Amino acid sequence: MPTRRIRWGWVAVAALPALFLTYFFAYPLGRILSLGLSEMSIGSTGLQSRLVSVGWFTLWQATLSTVLTFIFAAPMTWAVGRYEFRGRKLAMALVTVPFVLPTVVVGTAFVALGWRESIGAILAAHVFFNVAVVVRTVGSQWRRLDPDLLNAAATLGASPLEVMRRVTLPLLRPSLAAAASIVFLFTFTSFGVILILGGFTFATLEVEIYRQAIVLFDLPLAAALAVIQLVGVSLALYLYSRYQERHSASWELASEDAVPRPAGRARIGVYGSIIGTLAVLAIPLAVLLTRSLGSFDDLFAADLIVGSPVEAIRNSLLTAVAATAIALVIGIMAATFVSHRSGTLSRWFDTTLMLPLGTSAVAIGLGFIVALDWPVDLRASLALVPIAHALVAIPFVVRIVLPTMRSIDPDLRHAAATLGAKPISVWRRVDLPLVSRAALVAAGFSVVISLGEFGATTFVARPNTATIPTLIFRLLSRPGPASFGTAMALSIVLAALTAAVILWVDRFRVGDIGSF
């Protein structure tokens, strides 16, 4: 075997993601943390007790939020993962809508519903925002499970519950773990939800970092908190990555055409789950809708002084396309490397790819400003916005694509190689077609992340091009019934746009995937 040549190929595959993450993540973060820590004086008073309480709250609310999100998402995930039915794609698009809505908009809806300043409101909002992560990540893998395996177990006398517990769940473990890790990281670093629905009483590490760095300008303390957050996240991710590596088995991916239609009681269960889940998610949206009535005309009125919604929609879409392209290229290259190589290096690489999700947005934002003036001054460049969005999206791409890649039977690749295919054409002919479905799911997520992203980029000086979330904030910050109504109307437009994008992405079925 020409091992030498293959290894150099892997170096090339790993190089681009590694360079990207080093320059846009590790280097800025390192600069800002060392700047903060170099001024650190040991023994700040009262710090430790504050740290313990903030750290503990961050950990338990993230854990609880993740568990609750899974419980709430379970029925719908089962329905879309197990069955094919009319309206499934629409349901998948609709469940994604909460994920993009700006925190402040959802916050006002929750407050209007009487949920305010309580841990209950925080948890409910976290579930609301993250249901889509579970449904889409787990549901898409479920559909590719070989139905023969499940049927065989049933034929052998296993009850439906036993099939679920002993066959389905173990096979789904990679995507369950992936979804859990993403939801956990999102809620672990939660910022806007905590500020708006938690008042001052509840603070996560991220909120405390913001408070120390921006409000009180105590950079050393903020840097110390960011390091603690980073260490905690790294540890959790390392354990997760070991777990995932150990528990992912290769199995044959089935064609989605084999997914059955529900009949009898299953039919009631499917539609009950879908309608029930969407109805609950629709409650806050209904509040927005009633408040936006009558304001849709204003949206496209020429004299809206805060900027053109049409232009904001265009800017948002362009940014989303750029961010998605970056995230797919970097994410798929990285996932290819991780899935083909085992061992410490690959594991660390895998962990590092997830880190941006679990790292303080305040720290990364300030890091950009301090570090990215070399070799070219990118600090105020338009490119920084999609790059920041891509940093958030890459972990999604990797987490969604990796389970599928790992599950590709190596025999397929070996067969292709034995038949004389070069590594690159093995990848193109074997891996790519199998992965493209997962890549599409990932692309959908990247677009949606970019459309709704507000947090990470607010700590960077960026060229003033209005996007939809920016315009919503602008409208919400001035008095007058017309402004408020228009902001709500624009939120509905954002929701509709999200649903449309997801429906459009879901239409693509690249080549004849699955029919092998």
Partner 1 sequence: MRKLTTALLTTALLIAGCGNDTGETPETLRLVAHDSFADAVTDETFRAFTEETGIEVEVLAAGDAGSMVTQAVLTAGNPTADVMFGVDDTFLSRALDGDIFTEHTSALIDTVPDSLKLGPENLVTPIDFGDVCLNYDKEWFASTQIHVPTKLDDLRSDVYAGALVVEHPATSSPGLAFMLATIDEFGEDGWLDFWEDLRDKGVEVVPDWTTAYYEDFTRYGGDRSMVVSYASSPPAEVIFAEEPLDAAPTGVIEAGCYRQVEFAGVLDGTEYPEAAGDLIDFMLSVPFQETIPINWFVFPANSEAELPQEFVEHTVIPDDPTQLDPQYIADNREAWIQQWADLMEG
Name the token pair of 500.
Answer: 């449309």
Amino acid letter, residue 93: A
Q: Which stretch binds partner 1 (CB under 8 A): 51-59, 137-145, 404-412, 474-482?
A: 474-482
CB 198, min distance to partner 1, A = 8
- Cβ nearer to partner 1, comparing 33 with 93: 33
Residues 6+ apart with CB under 8 A from 46: none
Q: What is the CA radius of gyration of the chain?
A: 23
DSSP state of 265: H
- Helix, strand, or coil here: 446? helix
The answer to whether 199 contacts partner 1 (rule: CB under 8 A) is: yes
Q: Which stretch binds partner 1 (CB under 8 A): 124-132, 159-167, 213-221, 438-446?
A: 213-221
The answer to whether 2 contacts partner 1 (rule: CB under 8 A) is: no
Name the token pair of 104.
Answer: 């402040």
Residues 6+ apart with CB under 8 A from 121: 110, 115, 197, 198
Report the C-alpha gap between 374 and 379 in whole angstroms: 9
Report the C-alpha gap between 480 and 489 in whole angstroms: 15
Among 106, 281, 322, 476, binds partner 1 (CB under 8 A): 476
Among 211, 340, 413, 437, binds partner 1 (CB under 8 A): 211
Among 484, 503, 506, 514, binds partner 1 (CB under 8 A): 484
Among 42, 156, 161, 215, binds partner 1 (CB under 8 A): 215
Sign of CA dihedral 197, 202, 208, 211: positive
Q: Which stretch binds partner 1 (CB under 8 A): 122-130, 274-282, 426-434, 471-479?
A: 471-479
Segment 91 to 110, residues that bind partner 1, using CB under 8 A: 104, 107-108
The answer to whether 379 contacts partner 1 (rule: CB under 8 A) is: yes
Name the token pair of 106.
Answer: 């959802």
The answer to whether 45 contacts partner 1 (rule: CB under 8 A) is: no
Segment 219 to 278, residues that bind partner 1, using CB under 8 A: none
Segment 12 to 41, residues that bind partner 1, using CB under 8 A: 32, 35
Do the beta carbons of residue 492 and residue 344 sit within 8 Å? no
Q: Which stretch binds partner 1 (CB under 8 A): 83-91, 162-170, 341-349, 465-473?
A: 465-473
Binding pattern to partner 1, positions 176-195, x when CB under 8 A? -------------------x
The size of the interface with partner 1 (CB under 8 A), counted in residues, is 53
Q: Of the candidates 168, 133, 130, which has an alpha carbon nearest to the alpha carbon of residue 152?
A: 168
CB 24, min distance to partner 1, A = 17
Q: Of the candidates 230, 397, 400, which has an alpha carbon nearest to the alpha carbon of residue 328?
A: 397
Report the C-alpha gap between 7 and 514 in whole angstroms: 30
Longest CA–CA separation in the chain, Å:
73
The answer to whether 121 contacts partner 1 (rule: CB under 8 A) is: no
The answer to whether 373 contacts partner 1 (rule: CB under 8 A) is: yes
Place of tokens 């080549």: 511
Do the beta carbons of residue 363 and residue 146 sit within 8 Å? no
Q: Which stretch binds partner 1 (CB under 8 A): 156-164, 224-232, 300-308, 422-430?
A: 300-308
Sign of CA dihedral 291, 294, 296, 302: negative
Among 480, 507, 512, 515, binds partner 1 (CB under 8 A): 480
Q: Where on the chain is the footprint of partner 1 (CB under 8 A)?
A: 32, 35, 104, 107-108, 111-112, 116-117, 195-196, 199-201, 211, 213-217, 294, 305-307, 365-366, 369-370, 373, 379-380, 458-464, 466, 470-471, 473-474, 476-485
